[in-house]
Copies of this chain bind each other. A is one copy, B any other.
Amino acid sequence: MAKLKWGMIGGGEGSQIGPAHRLGAGLDGAFEFAAGALDHRPDAGIDYGRRMGLGDRAYGSWQDMLEGERAREDRVDLVTVATPNATHFEITKSFLESGFHVLCEKPMTMTVEEGEEIVKIAAATGNICAVNYGYSGYSLVRHMKAMVARGDIGKVRLVKAEFAHGHHADAADADNPRVRWRYDPAQAGVSAQFADCGIHAMHMASFVCGQEVTRLSADTVSCIDVRVLEDDAMVNFRMEGGAVGRLWTSSIALGRQHGLTLQVFGETGGLRWAQEHPNQLYHMPLNGRLQVIERGEGNLSPEADRTSRVTVGHAEGMPLAFANIYSDLAEAIRAQKEGRPMDPAANLYPRAEDGLRSMAAVYAVAASGKQDGAWLDARPPIFR
């Protein structure tokens, strides 16, 4: 099976996200790193790309890359957009319109309107537009979704999500440029911690429950005075299937490293998962005993089996979750090329609609936070 060709925009030398994507895309051997515009400084990007083995497909700008790749027969099959947030919309839009499949880092856009436009373009062109809610790639997150879908815990009553860390808790560090921009509306938009982290937890809640968020009420606070945007938020929400949601996100929670957790409580069972120990899933059947489901154990779901790479008991971590998103996309692209339906167990990558819904939720959280927690519609207008 020939490798698919993959290109990247952003993710230059020294970036954190670049290696993570290259690792994820390369992990299964499905994608070959073939082209890139890796830096906003043309020379640096070309130089780094060449050192990465891209040859003349190391471009100086995304515009050059768009032009260059469009002209080739062996154009890249998938473009990953990992540039600063404010540029995601324009680049994603341009590549989609030129016939490329795109995986866009989150946030997909800066506004709901832009999000709606991307959704429409993706639909109109038939090109894949995925958004990197990468934590949804964990094997046991997939299995939670499968368990909920097949009724293992009955109708979902309540979902409890958290994404709390303490890495921005130092007031003395608040002026550090690496941190400060996140809390500055001029650079970060309407929300800081919810948009940065909380939205991953909300996506995961929707993903696992198979229900979209309809309404929400938020309590947002800035625990460090100089911050305009929130560093801690509590969001209550309701979902279309009737489930109640509660989501806490914080960047001042000293002692939490990467507290992305999900608890789902249904009529006949409860589930609990935590990203820091992602290879165990706790299942409490009604009137039963707490059980520990291990990633990689036999007889889970097709969704779990497909995304599990090493045998039970061996930890798998975040890079493999990431890789699972790429694996989904490889299957989606191949299926499209071959004119066949794709493996349903792979058809789980987050898509433009998720990017759009997230943006609507971010705006709703920001607005509710300013209105004493007023309950607001969390849906993008085109989905109401």
Chain A interfacial positions (CB closer than 8 Å to B): 1-3, 16, 19-20, 22-23, 26-29, 33, 51-53, 153, 157-158, 160, 165-167, 169-171, 217, 219, 221, 223, 232, 234, 236, 244, 246, 248, 250, 252-259, 263, 265-267, 269-272, 275-279, 282-287, 289-294, 297, 309-320, 372-375
- Cβ of A319: which chain B residues have Cβ within 8 Å of it? 27, 309-310, 316, 319-320
The CA of A310 and the CA of B158, in the complex, are separated in Å by: 29
Chain B: which residue is nearest A274 at the CB level?
B315
- Cβ of A270: which chain B residues have Cβ within 8 Å of it? 166, 169, 253-256
| Protomer copies | 4
Shortest A218–chain B CB gap in Å is 9
Which of B33, B269, B310, B315 is in CB contact (< 8 Å) with A29? B33
- Given A250-B265, A255-B265, 19 additional A-B pairs, CB 8 A: A1-B51, A19-B309, A26-B29, A157-B232, A158-B221, A160-B253, A166-B265, A167-B312, A169-B267, A217-B373, A234-B236, A253-B263, A253-B270, A257-B294, A275-B313, A309-B319, A310-B318, A315-B316, A317-B317
The answer to whether A169 and B265 touch across the interface, beta carbons within 8 angstroms, is yes
Which of A158, A271, A287 has most B Cβ within 10 Å? A158
- Cβ of A373: which chain B residues have Cβ within 8 Å of it? 217, 236, 373, 375
Contact A158 B284, CB 8 Å, known A291-B291, A319-B320, A320-B317: no
